[in-house]
Amino acid sequence: MSQWTHVAGIIRLDSIGATLLRGNKDEITRQVKEAAEKILGYTVKFDSPAEQPCTVPTGSEGSLQYEVVHTGGDGELAWGHVAIWGDLRDFGEEDVPKITKWFEESLLKMKPRPGTQFANKIDQVVAAFSIRDAVLSVNVEYGLKRILTWDNVAQKLLCR
């Protein structure tokens, strides 16, 4: 019998990072997505080639997935969000710290770092993200359900 862990979450991306970029909306969206991928890592699906790199928590039939979505309009504080989901097979209680570590490290990399010198435009976008809210539900079948929330003031992840 397989052990499954089900994950669902969202990270709100505020618009400060996008305001540093120049270009049309499609180009800015591409740059923000590229910057978020640099932080969040590479995913695989059930039918991905074995040699495809994966740097996010992974079960025996694929990894967590995410999508960066631009939802805000001009002048809005929220630029968009990162939707996160996954059904990780053969991934149990002992594996949950991998998700917690990945989520917290990703959020810490997205916090603003004023005064930093940037090697390129993507690093500049990454450094300018402002994460006001983030939440991740981790539900292990036959086990515990955890709700991970980002404390923007303390700059740390809380687990409930």
Q: In the prediction, which pLDDT does 28 show?
A: 79
Indicate the range of 30-44, 88-102, 122-136 predicted with least confidence. Answer: 122-136
Counting the structural domains of the chain, the total is 1
Q: Could you report the per-residue pLDDT of 115-152, keeping only the tens digit for each?
A: 656 566 666 666 666 788 999 999 999 998 999 999 98
Task: Give 139's strand partners.
Answer: 6, 145
What's the pLDDT band for 33 if we cut at 50, 70, 90?
confident
Q: How large a percentage of the chain has pLDDT more than 90?
A: 49
Q: Dihedrals φ, ψ of 27, to 5°?
A: -70, -40
**CA 133 to the chain's CA centroid:** 12
Residue 120 corresponds to which tokens in the numbers above?
């390129």
Q: In the prediction, which pLDDT does 50 show?
A: 82
pLDDT of 95 above 90: yes
Q: In the prediction, which pLDDT does 148 show?
A: 97
- Are 88 and 58 a contacting pair, CB within 8 Å? yes
Q: In the prediction, which pLDDT does 31 show?
A: 81
Q: In the prediction, which pLDDT does 48 show?
A: 87
Look at the chain and count its residues: 160
Please tell me the distance from the alpha carbon of residue 75 to that of residue 133, in angstroms, as a whole number: 19
> 62 is in which domain, residue-wise?
4-159
Q: Could you report the per-residue pLDDT of 41-75, keeping only the tens digit for each?
A: 999 998 888 888 999 999 999 999 999 998 876 66
Task: Give 134's strand partners.
Answer: 11
**Predicted structure pTM score:** 0.89
What's the pLDDT band for 6 if we cut at 50, 70, 90?
very high
